[in-house]
Structure 1
Amino acid sequence: MSAPLIDPFARTIDYLRVSVTDRCDFRCTYCMSEHMTFLPKRDLLTLEELDRLCSAFVRMGVRKLRITGGEPLVRKGIMTFFEGMSRHLDGTSEAGRLDELTLTTNGSQLDRFAQPLWDAGVRRINVSLDTLDPDKFRAITRWGSLDKVRRGIDAARATGMRVKINTVALKGFNEAELFDLVDWCARDDLDLTFIEVMPMGDMGDGTDGTLRLGQYWPLRDLRTRLAERFTLSELSYRTGGPARYFELQETGQRIGFITPLTHNFCESCNRVRLTCTGELYMCLGQEDMADLRAPLRTSEGDAPVEAAIREAIARKPKGHDFDYSRQRADGQMSRHMSHTGG
């Protein structure tokens, strides 16, 4: 086993988020432009190259692997990648052992892929869902079908998979649905995490109601709303990611909060993000990245790849600079969320 990955601030890096495609069958307003120009296929890592890179990270101490996109399940042949990665779950792989193989999805393809994912060892997934109103869902995704997503969630639950709903808190869009979302998740035994909208990609000009600054709903305000009906008790429960979890005592359900703006979690950051072109971003909110595709494609052995990974981790910054507090989007990233991976 290689030495573990430790960044300059003594944080152990044991969580890798991997975007397997920049393509998606939705165009969510806070993630993509409506008319996206996608990468040519020749620029993408092959599934075999993604396997090789991920296996190198596992060998270097990564214990949690989350597959993202775009929408990961639209990539042709993606199940061969999941099936390959599953060998790291049982500890028989020479590259080491994963504690968890999971994914974040929009749910549109889950009715087809839920059972194969379960068979590959996926036991827990995140589904991005911001509204329970079909018309609003179609508007924010630009053409998605809420019914299809809900069928996919049901298919995942039928396998025994644990489903967590990820909801971006959007002022003026889903504020009025707060308790509807909570009640639905309680009724269907779904975990729920709220996320603050981040200043990335197309910030909008306000003409279509998608001005990002106007959408920002601080989760401290959302929690205050929840406390009007529920008693919230903080939990020690963690999944390896940035969410802080609370229990609603009246229902017993678990609610997560990801707060990159009001209470950033940088001091405990244990993750890096790999794009579908082999760029490694050490921080979601910084532009610095390392090219892993070049050493991957120019070497037969993995020593140059591991050296490039270690050099990148040595540059991991202390944190990001996201801030809306001065009525402007400080720390804004020009790249779309779909480029880095959700």
Structure 2
Amino acid sequence: MSRSTHPPTATPDAGTRRRLPLIGNDLVINEDSCNLSCTYCLTGQSNLKEGHSLQLIFEPPRRDSYAKDSGLGQRMDKVADRIRDRFGLPLLKVTGGEIFLVRGIMDFLEQEARKYDVLVIQTNGVLVREEHLERFRSWGNVVLQVSLDSHLHHGNSHRVPSGSLHEKVVAAIARILDSGLPVEIYSVLNDRSVTEVCAFAEWLSGFSRPPVYFPFPVRGPDSEDFKVRPGQFGHIQELVDRYDEFARVLPPRPYFDRLTSFYREGRRTFRCHLPRLVVSSFSDGVVTPCPNIWFSDMGNALEDDWSEMLDTVGTSGLYRALLAPKPRLKACHGCFTPWDTLSMYFEDEITLDELCAAPTYSPPRIRQMLSDAKADYLQGGHD
């Protein structure tokens, strides 16, 4: 499909710190509305917004509509356009909540696919139908990130308590995996799913175009209730020991060096570079510096001062804490996600070729921007 031309990456500010070379916007739509009620859901633990404290994510899902004349549609278009235009972004990730609860969401996704090199869509897969998959294939630049902890009910039961509903979830995701689209499986490691990691990898390996399986630790203030127990670490080690057997569905081997380090040390000890590359925004306009953990409300992309607010991206004291050589913030200590492959590249744990083997980062413009961003980081003395 044809794509529009993009403005160059933003030039440095007049101030003492240069603007970060962002490659992506993680756009969160109606984050408190979902058709599943995962017990460990981060939205139910977040304190970024007053509404999060009400744990609306566990209430019956709220339907909404995207259209050019709807309130949600006008907000989504304005937030996405302002951030893309300001930073010349080649990548948009759209997540929720569950975005397929939004009527007309496919119109928004098709519109945005034309503007970016890659459109990443995160979903639990339940509401994705064959006609959606057919349209995604026709756009040519969609990557699906599907949340599933295990194909077996016990391992997925923190997400789906009902066995019959679990069967429907797995059937829907199997259709996605048979679609021919590039798919990443986002799988939360908890006290139940960890017991099935090898069985899950084997199941995923059976598809003709297998996804990439990203297991990562459960996060958030309530993670103690769900975390992998010390006596269960052997299941992760078994997956690592069988890496060659499951290599076709696994990220680069150094990913598991970080994962096992996380469990061995009991916390994150390695540097994060994600906030220098991706910003997070919400369909109500709120902007926050980290897609993994919603730290602080930097301001609102829908307000009159939105341009001045975006000038603070990369320049605030919070950014200095998030990008520190060692994780400083308590929330960062408990965080490790598939986004970490970006940090692994910056820390020379994987090569640019290994990073860009993933469809999310494979387009030439994204590859070049990542290479340039790392060179700039190294030249700047690792600030």
Q: What is the SS of the residue equivalent to 1:65?
A: strand
Closer/same/farther in 2, CA of residues 268 and 136 from structure 1, 3 Å limit: closer
What is the root-mean-square deviation of aligned Cα atoms in Å?
3.8
- Which of 94, 107, 112 in structure 2 is aligned with 1:67? 94
**What residue in structure 1 maps to residue 215 of structure 2?**
194
Question: 1:4, CA displacement in angstroms?
Answer: 1.8
Closer/same/farther in 2, CA of residues 313 and 10 from structure 1, 3 Å limit: closer
Question: 1:122, CA displacement in angstroms?
Answer: 4.6
Letter in 2 for 1:154: A
- Which of 226, 233, 240 in structure 2 is aligned with 1:227? 240
Answer yes or no: is the 8 Å Cα contact 1:20–1:275 preserved in 2: yes
- CA distance in 1 between counterparts of 2:272 and 2:332 reads 17
User: Does 2:269 align with 1:255?
Assistant: no
Can you list the C-alpha shifts for 1:32-70, whole angstroms capped at 9, x where unaligned?
55984269879x962232122212222222111110001
Answer yes or no: is the 8 Å Cα contact 2:143–2:183 preserved in 1: yes
Closer/same/farther in 2, CA of residues 268 and 330 from structure 1, 3 Å limit: closer
**What residue in structure 1 maps to residue 225 of structure 2?**
211
User: Could you list the runs of 5+ residues in structure 1 that have no partner in the other structure?
Assistant: 89-97, 205-209, 231-247, 299-303, 322-328, 334-342
Question: 1:226, CA displacement in angstroms?
Answer: 2.2
**What residue in structure 2 maps to residue 180 of structure 1?**
199
Letter in 2 for 1:317: Y
**What residue in structure 1 maps to residue 368 of structure 2?**
none
Can you list the C-alpha shifts for 1:53-111, whole angstroms capped at 9, x where unaligned?
212222222111110001111112111111211221xxxxxxxxx22011111111123
User: Normalized per residue, which structure has more helix?
Assistant: 2
**What residue in structure 1 maps to residue 363 of structure 2?**
none
User: Could you list the runs of 5+ residues in structure 2 that have no partner in the other structure?
Assistant: 1-6, 46-53, 324-328, 334-383
Q: What is the SS of the residue equivalent to 2:195?
A: helix
Closer/same/farther in 2, CA of residues 185 and 282 from structure 1, 3 Å limit: same
Q: What is the SS of the residue equivalent to 2:75?
A: helix
Letter in 1 for 2:239: L
Question: 1:16, CA displacement in angstroms?
Answer: 0.9
**What residue in structure 1 maps to residue 37 of structure 2?**
27
Q: Equivalent residues in 2 for 1:41-190 (5 A)?
A: 46-59=72-85, 60-88=87-115, 98-112=116-130, 113-134=132-153, 136-142=155-161, 145-170=165-190, 172-188=191-207, 189-190=210-211
**Higher mean C-alpha deviation, range 136-145 or range 66-75:** 136-145
Q: Equivalent residues in 2 for 1:281-296 (5 A)?
A: 281-283=288-290, 284-285=292-293, 287-295=295-303
Question: 1:286, CA displacement in angstroms?
Answer: 5.8
Can you list the C-alpha shifts for 1:173-213, whole angstroms capped at 9, x where unaligned?
1222011011112112221001121124xx17xxxxx714x
Identity of aligned residues (%): 17
- CA distance in 2 between counterparts of 1:218 and 1:121 reads 44
Q: Normalising by structure 2, what TM-score?
A: 0.62
User: Normalized per residue, which structure has more strand?
Assistant: 1
Answer yes or no: is the 8 Å Cα contact 1:27–1:142 preserved in 2: no
Answer yes or no: is the 8 Å Cα contact 2:94–2:121 preserved in 1: yes
Q: What is the SS of the residue equivalent to 1:227?
A: helix
Q: Comparing both chains, which one has the higher relative contact order based on Cα–Cα distances under 8 Å and sequence gaps of 6 or more?
A: 1
Answer yes or no: is the 8 Å Cα contact 1:104–1:127 preserved in 2: yes
Can you list the C-alpha shifts for 1:133-183, whole angstroms capped at 9, x where unaligned?
23553453345823323333333344421111111111x312220110111
**What residue in structure 1 maps to residue 312 of structure 2?**
311
Q: What is the SS of the residue equivalent to 1:317?
A: helix
Closer/same/farther in 2, CA of residues 217 and 273 from structure 1, 3 Å limit: farther
Q: Normalising by structure 1, what TM-score?
A: 0.69
Question: 1:274, CA displacement in angstroms?
Answer: 0.8
Closer/same/farther in 2, CA of residues 314 and 220 from structure 1, 3 Å limit: farther
Question: 1:116, CA displacement in angstroms?
Answer: 3.0
- CA distance in 2 between counterparts of 1:307 and 1:2 reads 19
- CA distance in 2 between counterparts of 1:86 and 1:127 reads 18
